[in-house]
Amino acid sequence: MNERFMRQLEFIREVDKLKSIVRRSYLTDGSRRENDAEHTWHIALMAAVLEEHAGEERPDLLRVLRMLLIHDLVEIDAGDTFAYDVKGYLDKFDREQIAAKRIFQILPEDQGRGMMELWLEFEEESSNEAKFAAAMDRLQPILHNYATEGKSWREHNVTSTQVLSRIDSLSSSVPAIAEWAKELIGDAVKKGYLLP
């Protein structure tokens, strides 16, 4: 096989490591924490199913799916930074950018550059597609926490203010879902799943 194909295979082998990165969120049955590969699959499927609820300007779903498939590959090197870890977020982007450069350079140059651009677009939420993809990424842990009676939220003393702040951007990309999520968060507080 040619060198291009071999580099693509090397990348595919490397990103298999995503299956070993454990997140803070639990599966909806509460049995164990999910890994990054499971998270990636789930939010990609969510995007495909919930795309009709995007704002008036529908995103390019294929672009959204590509973003979601690669957005967490950087965690192979940088690790998963907990959404409410203020200190961890101070250098999160720098750590992840270094990881992105290393991981994407495994690919042939044109593919690696394309993935780097797509990853940056997601991180910066610089397009309608990136905003919708980020909305799915932020919505999924709320669904998991609600299903597990706030298991991860309670373990880390997360407050409703923190969760509401994290989903603030949903209002522009999925307004109806954002309103529903706010109601769900309010209900989680009433049920004791989440601190006020």
- Domains located in the chain, CATH noted: 3-190 (1.10.3210.10)
Residue 27, pLDDT > 80, answer: yes
Q: Is the pLDDT of residue 57 over 90?
A: no
Q: Give the confidence band of 110 by pLDDT, cuts at 50, 70, 90.
A: very high
pLDDT tens-digit series, residues 133-180: 999 999 999 999 999 999 999 999 999 999 999 999 888 889 999 999
Q: What is the pLDDT of residue 113?
A: 98
pLDDT tops 80 at residue 1: no
Instruction: Give one DSSP letter per residue of the chain, joined into a string.
Output: --HHHHHHHHHHHHHGGGGG-EEEEEPTTSSSEEEHHHHHHHHHHHHHHHGGGS-SS---HHHHHHHHHHTTTTHHHH-PPPTT-HHHHHSHHHHHHHHHHHHHTTS-HHHHHHHHHHHHHHHHT-SHHHHHHHHHHHHHHHHHHHHTTSHHHHHTT-BHHHHHHHTTTHHHH-HHHHHHHHHHHHHHHHTTSSB-
The chain-wide mean pLDDT, for the chain, equals 96
pTM above 0.85, yes or no: yes
Q: Say yes or no to pLDDT of 28 above 90.
A: yes
